[in-house]
Structure 1
Amino acid sequence: MNVLVIGGGIAGATTAMALQRAGIEATVYEAYAKPADEVGGALTLSPNGRHALRQIDADDAVAAVGVEVPGMVMQNHKGRVVGRFDGLPELPPSLLLRRDRLYRALMDEALSRGITVEFGKRLKSIEDRPGQVIAHFTDGSSATGDLVIGADGIRSAVRSTLDPMAPAPRYTGLLGLGGWIRNPGLPVTGDYQHFAFGKRAFFGYYIDASEILWFSNVPAADPAEAKTTAPEHWLAVLRERHADDVPARDIVALLKPEDVARPGILEDIPTVRTWHRGRVVLVGDAAHPTSPSSGQGASQAIESSLELARALRDSPDVATAFAAYEAARRERVERIIARAAKINNDKAAGPVARIMRDLLMPVVMKTVMTPEKMFGDLHRHRIDFAPSGASV
């Protein structure tokens, strides 16, 4: 079997490696002319994502470019700690990663295993014929294979070929800003990430001896505001939104215009109706795009890569494999998307909702939102990728 993987990001690289481990040849076709180094912000790879990487022997390569974080601390706008989530027993710590370093580590690992990656191949159309599928690219070239896997993100061109009426990404009401700056001497946070529900925006940070990672989710009625490119504008927005927030205002005070890039738009799609048809199938954000608030985007993409490769290895035909893959994944990922949507609503809470949230959160964190109840099912999820009769 020869598979064409459209998209060379996290899902594309891990899908190609999982297919190779399953004995299936794959070539990756990336739209951009060169690797997307130095692109994107930070993300967290959760224990379930790390376990999935271990099934294809890629966790060590990724861990080498990340920072292990054993838990997170939740704060209110005054800086008071209202809850703490520690890692679950017997699970590896989450990894805090720069997205570009994760991408580079996975791409380098795929290339080192002999997987072919072709750059500058932006998809134009797909012909799904009996017994084969042909991908046509905007540069005039084409490629023929047994299957096409769309790993091309939330605005997937492959998804559009499966369902021309597929719903567009849904704006969550939040814009995201963030980056890294030098630490001039602020106290370090230990290994924990900190998340603060500010008065007018949500703020996250991680501080070590040399650097500060910061991000802010700013409520905005119109996502078109993100097109305002002037960094001075966004620096003023951050200063206004976090003027009453501790310690966000102290970190924002350190920012210079060059530290503030144009914000990203937080989006999701609650349900992608069509995951596969004929010899074409979706994976990662093309199939189940969640907003960054889930903390699970990369982990779920990796999980889906493994489930798809396992189904293709173990099922008697393509239709059966695709159906088994979707059955294994859809309920889990859509539950995560819905959960992230609720988190986004809390981040964008109005004055009355914010007051109620701050009053109730300390109690809720000790009862309903314990680490086991919040993350047990999520982080303990395991995919047995070994063939029947083999050990993991």
Structure 2
Amino acid sequence: MTAHFADGTSATGDVLIGADGVNSATRRQYLPQAQVVDAGLRLLYGKVPFAGDQARALVPPELLGLWTTVIGPGKRFVGLAPVQYREPMHRATARLASDIELSDDSDYLACVFGTRREQIPCTDEELFATNGAELKALTLSLVEGWHPGLVEIVSRQDPASIFPVSVRTSVPVATWETTAVTLLGDAIHVMSPAIGVGANTALRDARVLTARLVQASGGRPLADALHAYEEEMIGYCFDAVRASAARGHNLVGQDPLPSTEV
């Protein structure tokens, strides 16, 4: 297989693995029947820094160990999730990968506001051109009248950290004919975050695919190994897509999956 890149370069190998995300160029060319659709939700992701004790003290202790979703009027919601590092970034990279330097980061509370796209008082084009301070003001306007403790948490978001997301989902497809091209992660099974397993499903793909490629290096025909990966992956990944879409629909008004799956 030879992959050709926009800069004019190319690379050749035994297998091409499309792990290029929700906007996968590999999927569009290889499996044009595999659709990705708008799920009808817009999210505003932000961080509440835990640099001092004051912001951390706003969050009830029982919310500091898990993801919590607060559902408000019109199925608007706020998701809260603590990110508390067991080891400073620079120390972890020095110990595990001394040639890698990550940007500084400290403990924070992920604070995600979400709603149906119709409840955002601007077009998507305008939303994605809006700066962090304006997104923060928009979020606060959409949680006006909610519990004051929650509003206070939202008000402490770092404006520089806030960005909008359009929630999209794949539409399950049937098994395709195996070739030396395959797909992994969001490139084939992007899903809404309603059950929180998108990243874990991609990691499962990597584990299963690695195991099958090891078998191929040990003498199993490559086509058989890739087919075994795809057959297993298609089963568990689209189960997760369906479950995520169903919970997102029931909980926060996500569009249901199209009734006709390809």
TM-score normalised to structure 2 length: 0.72
Among 160, 181, 192, the alignment partner of 2:48 is 181
Matched, 1:191 2:65: yes
Rounded Cα–Cα distance in structure 2 between residues aligned with 1:186 and 1:239: 17
* Residues 204 and 320 of structure 1: CA distance in aligned 2, closer, same or farther (over 3 Å): same
Q: Is the 8 A contact 2:17 2:182 kept in 1?
A: yes
Matched, 1:329 2:233: yes
Count of residue correspondences: 216
Cα distance per residue 1:337-388 (max 9 Å; x no partner): 11111222234349xxxxxxxxxxxxxxxxxxxxxxxxxxxxxxxxxxxxxx
Rounded Cα–Cα distance in structure 1 between residues aligned with 2:186 and 2:143: 31
Q: Is the 8 A contact 1:199 1:241 kept in 2?
A: no
Equivalent AA in structure 1 for residue 190 of structure 2: P
Rounded Cα–Cα distance in structure 1 between residues aligned with 2:48 and 2:169: 29
Q: Is the 8 A contact 2:136 2:162 kept in 1?
A: no
- Give the corresponding residue for 1:236: 137
- Give the corresponding residue for 1:343: 247
Equivalent AA in structure 2 for residue 144 of structure 1: T
- Give the corresponding residue for 2:163: 262
Cα distance per residue 1:280-303 (max 9 Å; x no partner): 111111121112223111111111
Among 49, 63, 80, the alignment partner of 1:205 is 80
Query: 2:23 aligns to what SS in structure 1?
Result: coil
Rounded Cα–Cα distance in structure 1 between residues aligned with 2:126 and 2:176: 32
Report which stretch shifted further, 288-297 or 245-254: 245-254
How far off is 1:245 after superposition? 2.6
Matched, 1:144 2:12: yes
Rounded Cα–Cα distance in structure 2 between residues aligned with 1:234 and 1:136: 39
TM-score normalised to structure 1 length: 0.50
* Residues 305 and 207 of structure 1: CA distance in aligned 2, closer, same or farther (over 3 Å): closer
- Give the corresponding residue for 1:353: none
Cα distance per residue 1:193-252 (max 9 Å; x no partner): 322112241111145896332111122136545324233442233122212333431212
* Residues 240 and 137 of structure 1: CA distance in aligned 2, closer, same or farther (over 3 Å): same
Equivalent AA in structure 1 for residue 20 of structure 2: D
Cα distance per residue 1:105-162 (max 9 Å; x no partner): xxxxxxxxxxxxxxxxxxxxxxxxxxxx111111111111111111111111111221
Rounded Cα–Cα distance in structure 2 between residues aligned with 1:136 and 1:313: 26
Equivalent AA in structure 2 for residue 175 of structure 1: R
- Give the corresponding residue for 2:182: 281
Query: 1:321 aligns to what SS in structure 2?
Result: helix
How far off is 1:165 after superposition? 4.6
Q: Is the 8 A contact 1:268 1:291 kept in 2?
A: yes
Root-mean-square deviation (CA, aligned residues, Å) is 2.6
Q: Is the 8 A contact 1:171 1:223 kept in 2?
A: no
Structure with greater strand share of residues:
1
Q: Is the 8 A contact 2:175 2:231 kept in 1?
A: no
* Residues 339 and 309 of structure 1: CA distance in aligned 2, closer, same or farther (over 3 Å): same
Equivalent AA in structure 2 for residue 202 of structure 1: F
Equivalent AA in structure 1 for residue 131 of structure 2: A
Q: Is the 8 A contact 1:231 1:262 kept in 2?
A: yes
Cα distance per residue 1:262-321 (max 9 Å; x no partner): 301111112245666421111111121112223111111111111112223335212211
Among 253, 258, 263, the alignment partner of 2:155 is 253
